[in-house]
Structure 1
Amino acid sequence: MKPIADYSSEDLSALLNDLEVQYKEAQAQNLKLNMARGKPATTQLNLSNALLDKMESYTLADGTDARNYGILDGIPECKKLFGELLGINPDQIIIGGNASLNVMFDTLSFLCLFGTGGCEPWIYSKHNGNPVKFLCPVPGYDRHFTICEELGIEMITVPLNEDGPDMDIVKKLVSEDESIKGIWCVPLHSNPQGVCYSDEVVEQLASMETAAKDFRIFWDNAYGVHHIYEDVALKDIIKECEKCGNPDRVYYFFSTSKISFPGAGIALVASSPANIKELKGHMSAQTIGHDKLNQLRHVQFFKTPENIRAHMKKLAEELKPKFDMVLDKLDETLSGSGLASWSNPKGGYFVSLDTLPGCAKRTVELAKNAGVTLTGAGATYPYGKDPKDSNIRIAPTYPTIDELEKAMDIFTLCVKIAGIEKLLEK
């Protein structure tokens, strides 16, 4: 498609008529294709089916029966396995339930109810009548924003650059406002853009001056081993915070939701010894211990960090053709048109696309009416409000290749229609 700027109004109207004919043909197919969430496909889940086989034993190395009560912070074997995978001291890890979202919600809830490091509970911490605030790099993960909304935490958006959050803005905000208590970070193959934080950004997050003594980084490393095109190294935020004299600043989250089985995996939080002690204190009133059998099952299946990395290479082989399909379709149909721009992630689970301003909602609506369900426009921004109405998250993982090809043909058609409609309005 030639650059949209080269079209006259008459040419645009004629092109729109042609596209609308194609759109009606697409509607006539009565398709039902879903790219709304980053769900693993059956072929990905099948790679972990041996997890469901009979367990080798129910006994831990120290003789503990994993079928019984106890071990609040997770079995030692599981903490060791993921500590080695992620380069974290096992003593600074708590193995939680089956989802990092649950662990993140609980952690933030504890801070709201009880505070941290001797500071007052965040829910009562009102500064000049203002609520507690969190910085949210955007586009970002909608469920982070939902947690903040549920807990009454005000969200402040910060641009997400190619190397991480805009640190000039972040440093200025946190140095001036003590009601800003934290920041959400998806540091590797971010959701949805696939951004990987640079060493410099990690260093600045760890060392920056903050007005709030109890400022915390919520480091959701959800895609820390989800490389597809290229392995990317991430600077160790826990060690960097220790080095900079801010050992309690970060909570590090990770899960196997997109490694083994979503809803039946394991999740963890890692932090400083002081923070881990606090969390365990609160957890002791909440539970006697999480599912040790599931933890042991994962240890028996994966056994070593090397086996997990090998497993992830198999997952990458499943995902790469799908990402290739999405990126090739975008290049073939929209490259050079001026109607959209998109990310080229090295890993993770998503591709982020920006339409012309004011066209995302219309694009998603058109796609839905043609049988393609996408994540709602605005979902990648706090309160569901994308100020430019331009960002759309594409989730290629769940459909088959054939379904994905049909979905992308319709999606790119809808991007064109919405963009040209907007231009003709002007």
Structure 2
Amino acid sequence: MTIVLSSDALAGLLDRARRDYEELAARGLKLDLTRGKPAPEQLDLSGDLLTLPGGRHTAADGADVRNYGGLQGLPELREIFAGLLQVPAGQLLAAGNSSLELMHDCLVHALLSVLPGAEARWADQGRVVFLCPVPGYDRHFALCERFGIEMIPVPMTEAGPDMDVVERLVAEDPAVKGIWCVPKYSNPSGVSYSDETVARLARMETAAPDFRIFWDNAYAAHHLTDEPVQIADLLAACTASGNPDRAFLFGSTSKITFAGAGVAFFGSSPANVSWLTANNSKRSIGPDKTNQLRHVLFLRDEDGVRAHMERQRALLQPKFDAVQRILEAELGGTGLAEWTTPKGGYFVTLEVMEGCAEDVVRRAAEAGIVLTPAGATHPYGDDPRDATIRIAPSYPSLAELEQAMLGLTVCVRLSGYEKMLTT
């Protein structure tokens, strides 16, 4: 990322960056690029959900959705999402509104009850370790911190986590109980796992018999191009490799319909589904089936989901295009930064000069542009290179996003040219 410039040339570039920053700070902006929330216009696409189910209160099998029961969720909703999530409908649970909640519960249940294939609870086995591909999702890391689970960073490649590192770590240490994966349009890099990566995850030898892949397929239907990325079927690969219980799959409609009132899904082997259902029966007598019925009536079928996501794409793609356009215009060829061009998902990863991310985020905040904290993409908030910044283009209006991105590039130039002059 380094370029060779004379001291005079660098001084001139730094002087311009300082003037640009002074002008930026004087504008009194209040812009937020912190989290990948759907914009109001995206939520409006699902407005008809609020009018449903229109007096209807029975599921396809005649069950009264207003009443208790139905721990697995409505069969017709599971049928709609089975193909998209690559889980047979009979092995898919439809739950409440939060897949993060399901991940939380799976960790708690694994700590406090015996997983299929395990000899004891995780809580009784001493040290518990998770592998964390980086850059990764801060809420995954927060769950591990909450429960005292040790985290080991694993580098991401263009095909997914570095499988040589993963295979070595899982084979040598029985304390390694799991790995976090966002397999399609990863948060925040946009990487999608190759077929070979999926196959190696499914068949690798693990020292822990109760090892689990936490497969957070949050962006299964969230495409930004005309050529949707397809990933291999992890659950089928695990079964074919003789490890049918290895995968916990998660998904939700949180960025499809209403972020705060969607439906979350869990898929796995029959043994794991029975394990989770039995444990969840102690905390709930059934999910919100009325909301699930709303989703059935609104989305109708798998093709309905795809059509709805094309309308989402029409709102999101111009924002992602604006991010790319501004980064290239302001930082292209400078040697100050590199960035991803995702084919789907909700984020763009900006890699600035080593040692500059925290400074860029601080200066942006002082100028009224709030970003996700530097380090959030790594376990314990510690990015050893201090270089990774996550950009979330979805929530601001296009005009606000363009202002924020132009301001961010000013901060990158200021921090980067200062770094160049001092090294």
- Could you say which TM-score interval applies, normalised by the shorter chain? over 0.9
> Aligned pair 1:388/2:412, yes or no?
no
Hey, what's the Cα distance between the residues in 1 that align with 2:95 and 2:415? 44
- Specify every segment of 5 or more residues in structure 2 that has no aligned partner in the other structure, as ranges: none
Matched letter for residue 294 of structure 2: R
Counterparts of residues 368-407 of structure 1 (less than 5 Å)? 368-407=365-404
What is the aligned counterpart of 1:326 among 308, 323, 340?
Answer: 323
Counterparts of residues 148-167 of structure 1 (less than 5 Å)? 148-167=144-163
Matched with 1:122 is 122
Matched with 2:19 is 21
Q: 1:86: Cα distance to partner?
A: 2.8
Matched with 1:65 is 64
**Cα pair 2:85 2:251 within 8 Å, conserved:** no
**Cα pair 2:159 2:194 within 8 Å, conserved:** yes
* % identical equivalent positions: 52
Hey, what's the Cα distance between the residues in 2 that align with 1:86 and 1:185? 14
**Cα pair 2:85 2:217 within 8 Å, conserved:** no
Matched with 1:53 is 51
More moved, 69-78 vs 257-266: 69-78
- Specify every segment of 5 or more residues in structure 1 that has no aligned partner in the other structure, as ranges: none
> Aligned pair 1:90/2:89, yes or no?
yes
Matched letter for residue 373 of structure 1: V
Matched with 2:417 is 420
Matched with 1:168 is 164
> Aligned pair 1:193/2:189, yes or no?
yes
What is the aligned counterpart of 2:133 among 126, 130, 137?
Answer: 137
Hey, what's the Cα distance between the residues in 2 that align with 1:19 and 1:349? 29
Q: 1:91: Cα distance to partner?
A: 1.2
Matched letter for residue 44 of structure 2: N
Hey, what's the Cα distance between the residues in 2 that align with 1:258 and 1:60? 24
Per-residue CA distance 1:84-129 (angstroms, 9 max, x = gap): 4333211101112101000010011100111312421112212xxx
What is the aligned counterpart of 1:222 among 212, 218, 224?
Answer: 218
Over the aligned positions, Cα root-mean-square deviation in angstroms equals: 1.1
Q: 1:6: Cα distance to partner?
A: 3.4
The count of corresponding residues between Structure 1 and Structure 2 is 420
Hey, what's the Cα distance between the residues in 1 that align with 2:60 and 2:179? 39
Hey, what's the Cα distance between the residues in 2 that align with 1:181 and 1:166? 17
Q: 1:4: Cα distance to partner?
A: 6.3
What is the aligned counterpart of 2:242 among 218, 240, 245?
Answer: 245
Q: What TM-score do you get using the length of structure 2 for normalisation?
A: 0.98
What is the aligned counterpart of 1:355 among 330, 349, 352?
Answer: 352
Hey, what's the Cα distance between the residues in 1 that align with 2:183 and 2:80? 21
What is the aligned counterpart of 1:39 among 37, 40, 46?
Answer: 37
> Aligned pair 1:293/2:290, yes or no?
yes
Hey, what's the Cα distance between the residues in 2 that align with 1:54 and 1:325? 36
Hey, what's the Cα distance between the residues in 1 that align with 2:147 and 2:114? 14
**Cα pair 2:52 2:294 within 8 Å, conserved:** no
Aligned to 1:411, the other structure's residue is in SS state: helix
Aligned to 1:6, the other structure's residue is in SS state: coil
Hey, what's the Cα distance between the residues in 1 that align with 2:124 and 2:173? 16
Matched with 1:410 is 407
Matched with 2:142 is 146
Matched letter for residue 154 of structure 1: E
Q: 1:55: Cα distance to partner?
A: 1.4
Hey, what's the Cα distance between the residues in 2 that align with 1:63 and 1:329? 54
Matched with 1:74 is 73
- Structure 1 outlier segments of 4+, above 4 Å: none
Hey, what's the Cα distance between the residues in 2 that align with 1:136 and 1:94? 25
Q: What TM-score do you get using the length of structure 1 for normalisation?
A: 0.97
> Aligned pair 1:207/2:203, yes or no?
yes
Aligned to 1:106, the other structure's residue is in SS state: helix
Q: 1:141: Cα distance to partner?
A: 0.2
Matched with 1:12 is 10
Per-residue CA distance 1:10-38 (angstroms, 9 max, x = gap): 32122212111111111111110110000
What is the aligned counterpart of 2:176 among 166, 173, 180?
Answer: 180
Hey, what's the Cα distance between the residues in 1 that align with 2:279 and 2:293? 24
